[in-house]
Amino acid sequence: MESPLSNPYSSPVSNLFGSATNSVAEAVSPSTIAQLAGTKPWVRFMSVIFWLVGLFLVLGSCLYALLAASGTFSNPEFTSNPAIAGNPMFSKNPAFFTGMLIATSVYLGVFAFLTIYPALKLWKYANSIAKLMASRSIADLDAALTEQRRYWKFHGIMTLIGICMVLIGIIAFFALIFTAISSGMKLPH
């Protein structure tokens, strides 16, 4: 069967879905568009929440870095504070507290990235849904699903890393207990 476009005497074909091509078969169905359009506000909402959390984490990271860089905790007035002076970890080694601030700054920075990256993927997904709603093209559906796949791939990788970290923690816990027992340490009764 030949295409309606190759026969100049065929009846006209109208594209009701607004895709870039003249083939109705390449348009996304209205029910699929409706399902994705229904998720778009929630995707955008979650993206905004992730962006806000990421922003607070970045601000917290910067605050801890500034506190560490200011040298406030090396000041004798700080180390002579009665609340600090009673703690030998801080009073005898003020650099320890500065090191804790730097470590906390790095920790918050890492978690800011781990929050902002999914926020970006969700934002792009919501934008792809909006573009799909306007064009109804398969290419825009593919773009939306690609952003969704990237979002879930990131969370899958983070879940695998988390499971590995828990397993390493469990192994380390039992290794420490075994080491303590084999060195002669007695367990409490």
Q: What residues pair up with 137 in beta bridges, in sequence order?
A: 27
Residue range(s) defining the domain that contains residue 166 = 29-182
Q: How confident is the model at residue 167 (pLDDT cuts 50, 70, 90)?
A: very high
For residue 39, pLDDT over 50 is answered with yes
Tell whether 3 is covered by a domain: no
Q: Does this model's pTM top 0.85?
A: no
The whole-angstrom separation of Cα 79 and Cα 98 is 12
Q: What is the mean pLDDT of residues 129-157?
A: 94
Tell whether 140 is covered by a domain: yes
pLDDT for residue 13: 66
Tell whether 8 is covered by a domain: no
pLDDT for residue 187: 63
Tell whether 13 is covered by a domain: no
Tell whether 20 is covered by a domain: no
Q: What is the mean pLDDT of residues 108-132?
A: 94
Number of domains in the chain: 1
Tell whether 6 is covered by a domain: no
Q: How confident is the model at residue 90 (pLDDT cuts 50, 70, 90)?
A: low
Tell whether 23 is covered by a domain: no
Q: What is the mean pLDDT of residues 53-79?
A: 85
Tell whether 98 is covered by a domain: yes
